[in-house]
Amino acid sequence: MRCISLDAEDSITIYINSAKGRENHLDNTGHGSKLCMEIKRIKHAINLLNRSTKVYHIALRQKSRSSIGFEEDTHELVSRLTNNEDISVDSIVGMQGIAIVNHFPFRAWVSVPQESNDVNTLLEDVGNQVLKISELQEEPDGKDFWINKMNKFLKEKNRTVASHANQDDTPYQLRLRTKEESWRLFIQRAQFPPDNLSPSHTEALKEVVERCGGLPQAIEYLVNKFSGKDVTALDLRRVPINDHFQNGWSKTLENEDLSEDLKKCFSYFRLFPSNYEIPTSRLIALWVAQGLVKQSDVEKETLEDVAEKYLSELIGLNMIQVVQKKINGKVKTCRLPNALLELCLSKCVSTDRQLADHFNKNDASFAHIHGNNTTSADLQRYKKHVSFLSFDTREGTKPGEDIENFLRKAISSGCFKVLKVLDLERVFRPQLPNTIGNLIELKYLGLRWTYLEMIPSSIGNLRKLQTQDVKIYRSKFAHQPSSSSLKNLQTLWGVFVGEDSHLKDGLEKWTNLRKLGLALQLPSQQQRVAKCVVKLNNLERLSLRSIDEMSKPQVLYLESLSGMENLTSLYLFGKLEIPSIISEFPQSLSDLTLSASGLKNDPMPALDKLPNLKSLCFYSGSYERREMVCSRGRFTKLLVLKLWKLEMLEELQVEEEAMQNLRELDIRSCKELKFPTGLKHLKNLRELNSWGMPEEFTTRIEEIRGKFGMS
């Protein structure tokens, strides 16, 4: 078919060139008759091809129109089409291969010259190519294309062009698909039954699909390459995905004039290992600590808010892939697609003052960090470094010992005096030297999943420290920092307040805290901490865990949080000493998670009065009664509801007009729960999940998911 189309194109080109300048193109000079003969020959070839496809049962694969990963985009675009009563032009921005045109059966292509700088001339040219008004005006009245309103979507690769199409509306930017969406799309298109694939094939397939970077065109390439073929796991891993689809990303990079701030933030991704999945909270904190983000002129907009905008912009440019989303719809993790690892060099700024340890013997820093013969002279190259990230995730004590030796030698040699970031996430038990207190410029100390047991007392000298993230709730301060130290601390997460801890005594002094996560043990400590917490007026996110020596839940003491006007996220683990305290949560709350709370009364009448609640999770042991009622007209902003391991729950009543915006309902291991008939009232439900439920319940869920095309 390709050969026939090329023949047709050549014949037309030859005829046009030979007939140039002639008023009557189909004259009798012979050119017209030759064209007619060529047309007959091509028709004959097409007829032969058509008969051959029928004889040999050759069928073309239907072009993908899958909406997997485009649910939110579809909702937004339909809203733009239906809410605008006037003639409008809406722009959709996306790179080559993002697949939006597959969903528009009627479309017109226009060319935009790269050298065009005159916006008015450019748009006039586009309009002339798309719609000839003079021809429409010649048509008689009453033709069915004369309608009261008209909408046009412009699909652009360049934001500058798109932004001028309709200055009253912001161009809608498409993103790459997430890891989960990519896998679902591949399975749907390739028609592979996942249950019939061996574990090795499934692992290899997921690996190669991930290498597509969320680009639908690349996923479709895999579908066409492997469907119906017997391939080994080794064959799958050899597929050169990047070679086929770097061009689209390359053009995106060439056409986008990134600001210097955006270039610096984009460059930071190069410090992470290939295809590394980065938590958004970690990335934003690193950008801010590094000084890559500038304060905006918008009132009350924090540096973190600006950083989040930067990330959204990079995602909108398809330069960064969203890997996972949070239950509230925000980005949870992201990564730089493999195809961009080399291409990004042209847009990146120098990372000479940033050190990343990948435990790679080919790196110049390997011998300095992991060797035994490092001298003070060797370490002088690190005098002006502003960040040090380690990705040495080996098991055993060696990674921690290497880090201690390197930091101790470097600090004693006068290095790292301007270090702002020290991120040792997942390095097993790094032994921090007490001289770490000399790093007076340090703003970020990342110790997540390090299983570090003791934090040196010299940490108190780090007056500029903004983030100390430990995560596992077992790390302790060696001694209590003074009330004047750590005064700029904004994030303190994962610290354990044990029997000999005095952290509770200075907590209220850290008034800049915005994120606080503590594990508590003794009742006397809890009461003191609870009194301190309510005085932290800038707190936005709070996690409190009440655990015994075996990390099992125990009674959690809590004071009224109603006055904490900035608190948006709350996680509570432990039996609430005063269950009615849930009626005294702040109106600002948007995310609430309760676990092991032991509630005896239906919490919904109290919680449905929180006007901004978007995510509500009840985990194991949080509610111990048989009935839960979502009343009519309540929970108007709720997007996510999770019910996990509520062993006594038998009935979930969803009244009409309750939770009208709910998008995700997740029910797990609620063995006694009957199927909630009120699900029919949830008009916007998109995800309906169940796990560990009785077979009859699961069957009903699958029927609904299939009927309404839910994920």
Query: Tens digits of per-residue pLDDT, 467-503?
Result: 998 876 567 766 655 556 788 899 999 888 877 776 7
Position with higher pLDDT, 595 vs 178: 595
pLDDT of residue 274: 86
Two structure tokens written together for 491: 């994030």
Mean pLDDT value across residues 267-284: 93
Backbone angles phi, psi at 153, to 5 degrees: -105, 130
Q: Which residue has the higher pLDDT, 487 or 699?
A: 699
- Mean pLDDT of all residues in 550-575: 95
Domain boundaries, the chain: 2-55, 71-110+121-138+145-173, 179-239, 250-346, 590-711
| Type of residue at 306 | V
User: SS3 string of 522-534?
Assistant: CHHHHHHHHHHHC
- Whole-angstrom Cα distance, residue 384 to residue 421? 12
CA dihedral 366, 341, 259, 310 (to 10 degrees): -90
Measured distance CA(102)–CA(63) in Å, rounded: 8
Task: Map tokens 């340890």 to a residue.
Answer: 357
pLDDT of residue 228: 62
Band (680; pLDDT cuts 50, 70, 90): confident
The pLDDT value given to residue 703: 86
pLDDT of residue 175: 75
Q: Taking all residues of the chain, what is their mean pLDDT, rounded to a whole number?
A: 80
Question: Which of the residue ranges 21-30, 608-617, 650-659 would you say has the lowest mean pLDDT?
Answer: 21-30
Per CATH, domain 250-346 is 2.60.40: no
**Residues 300-349 pLDDT 10s:** 889 999 999 999 989 888 889 889 888 667 899 999 887 777 666 655 66
CB 358 within 8 A of CB 273: yes
Sequence-distant (≥ 6) Cβ neighbours of residue 491 within 8 angstroms? 285, 466, 467, 468, 469, 513, 514, 515, 516
Report pLDDT for 223.
Answer: 78
What number is the average pLDDT over the span 533-552? 93
Q: Identify the pLDDT of residue 36.
A: 82
Share of the chain above pLDDT 90, in %: 42
Q: Which of 297-301, 518-522, 651-655 has the highest mean pLDDT?
A: 651-655
- Residue bearing the bigger pLDDT, 170 or 414: 414
So what's the pLDDT on residue 610?
Answer: 97
Is the pLDDT reported for residue 400 higher than 50? yes
Helix (H, G, I), strand (E, B) or coil at 691: strand
Q: What is the pLDDT of residue 527?
A: 87
Between 208 and 357, whose confidence is greater?
A: 357
Higher pLDDT, 188 or 444: 444
- Beta-bridge partner residues of 686: none
Q: Please, which pLDDT band fits residue 247 given cuts at 50, 70 and 90?
A: low
% of the chain surpassing 70 pLDDT: 70
Where on the phi/psi map is residue 99: left (φ > 0), alpha (ψ -120 to 50), or beta?
A: left
pLDDT, mean of residues 272-289: 94
pLDDT of 654 higher than 80: yes
Q: Determine the pLDDT at residue 123.
A: 61
At 163, the pLDDT band (50, 70, 90 cuts) reads low
Mean pLDDT of 400-429: 95
Q: Read off the pLDDT band of 162 (50, 70, 90).
A: low
More confident residue, 359 or 486: 359
Q: 477-484 long-range CB contacts below 8 Å, 24 or more apart?
A: 477/501, 477/503, 478/454, 480/505, 480/506, 481/457, 481/506, 482/506, 483/509, 484/509
- 142 CA to centre of own chain: 49
Quick one: pLDDT at residue 4?
65
- In degrees and rounded to multiples of 5, residue 244 shows phi and psi of -80, -30
- DSSP 8-state assignment for residue 642: E
The yes-or-no verdict on residue 219 having pLDDT over 90 is: no
Identify the residue whose tokens are 């110049």. 364
The residues pairing with 389 across neighbouring beta strands, listed in sequence order, are 356, 423
590-711 has CATH 3.40.50.2000 classification: no
Residue 598 pLDDT exceeds 90:
yes
How long a stretch of residues is the chain? 711
Strands (E), 185-309: 278-279
Q: What is the pLDDT of residue 64?
A: 47
Quick one: average pLDDT of 556-585?
95
Q: Is the pLDDT of residue 97 over 70?
A: no
Out of 126-140, 417-431, 662-676, least confident range: 126-140
Q: What are 253-274's pLDDT values in tens digits? A: 555 667 889 989 998 998 999 8
The predicted model gives 668-689 an average pLDDT of: 91
Per-residue pLDDT tens over the stretch 68-85: 555 566 666 666 665 555
Q: Higher confidence at residue 93 or residue 552? A: 552
Nearest to 653 by CA among 611, 605, 704, 699: 605
Instruction: Give tens-digit pLDDT for 46-70.
Output: 777 777 666 555 555 454 445 555 5
- Burial zone of 46 (CB within 10 Å; 0-12 exposed, 13-18 middle, 19+ buried): middle
Output Rg (C-alpha) for the chain, integer angstroms. Answer: 31
Gap between the Cα atoms of 382 and 372, Å rounded: 17
